[in-house]
Structures are given as C-alpha cells and as structure tokens.
Amino acid sequence: MAFLSNEKLLIVGAGGMIGSNMVQSALMLGLTPNICLYDIYEPGVHGVFDEMQQCAFPGANISYTVNPEEAFTGAKYIISSGGAPRKDGMTREDLLKGNCKIAAEFGDNIKKYCPDVEHVVVIFNPADVTALTALIHS
C-alpha cells in the first residue's frame, strides 16, 4: 500500500466514536502508516488499537498510549476529537467551559512536545472556540 507521507499522525480522542473512525479513515485513505492513538481512557484506546490490528492494513505502524509526552512527541499531523460530548440539559456555554480546559491542555501539549507540527484539526465542540483556544496555547 502506498502512503502519502511517512510522518507521524496523532489521533487525540482515539478511544471515542469519532476518533476511532478517524483512525480507520486515515488508514483507508493511505495518509500515513505511522499513526499514534491517544486517549485518557485506556480501555477505550486499547480496544480501538486491537480493532485496527485486526483490520489488515499492510505496512501500518499503529501505536497507542495514555501518556501525552509519548503521544505528541514527533507528531507532524494531529486530528483531535478529544473533547467531552454535550450531555442532556447542557448549554453551549456549559460545554464551552469544560472543553476549553481540554483545548488549553491540548495546545500546551503541542507547544511542549511537538512545536513543529505541520497541521492540526480540532473537531470537538464548540469547534470555533476550542480551536482558537488550542491555537493560543500552542
């Protein structure tokens, strides 16, 4: 299988539904063989890792971790769906408070461990504010 790049792609929130689909999509599209799955929930990210190992993607070099230093170090591309979902009764402002904390930590990890990252995609809500927060902190 030919890949577009050999650079490391980090999927943040890989243990969740969106993140796990991003992993499979990246492999199916042949973006890179080097994909690191990161999530704070070890059983979830471990499960996604096990599933991807069974999907027969030739040449794929998939790893997973709950350690941000290990995950972010050397990443050239990052896709993050690592925010918390909106729960019943939550307003946009409620979601914003929690997810902006997550986005700030996400940006701090970029600055600390992979300041030379080439492309970052933030897809957790509210995406406009969380992306800006991550950018400011990175």
How confident is the chain (138 residues) per 10-residue block, as mean pLDDT? Answer: 93 95 95 97 96 90 98 98 89 90 97 97 91 96
101: domain range?
A: 8-137
Q: Is residue 2 part of a domain?
A: no
Q: Is residue 77 part of a domain?
A: yes
pLDDT of residue 112: 98
Q: Is residue 113 part of a domain?
A: yes
User: What pTM value is reported for the model?
Assistant: 0.94
Strands (E), the chain: 8-12, 34-38, 61-65, 75-80, 119-122
Q: Do 113 and 68 touch, CB atoms closer than 8 A? A: yes
Q: Is residue 64 part of a domain?
A: yes
CATH assignment at residue 126: 3.40.50.720
Axis-axis angle for helices 42-53, 17-29 (nearest 10): 30
Q: How many domains does the chain have?
A: 1
pLDDT of residue 2: 87
Q: Is residue 3 part of a domain?
A: no
Instruction: Please state, in angstroms and rounded to a whole number, the distance separating the CA atoms of residues 5 and 87.
Output: 38
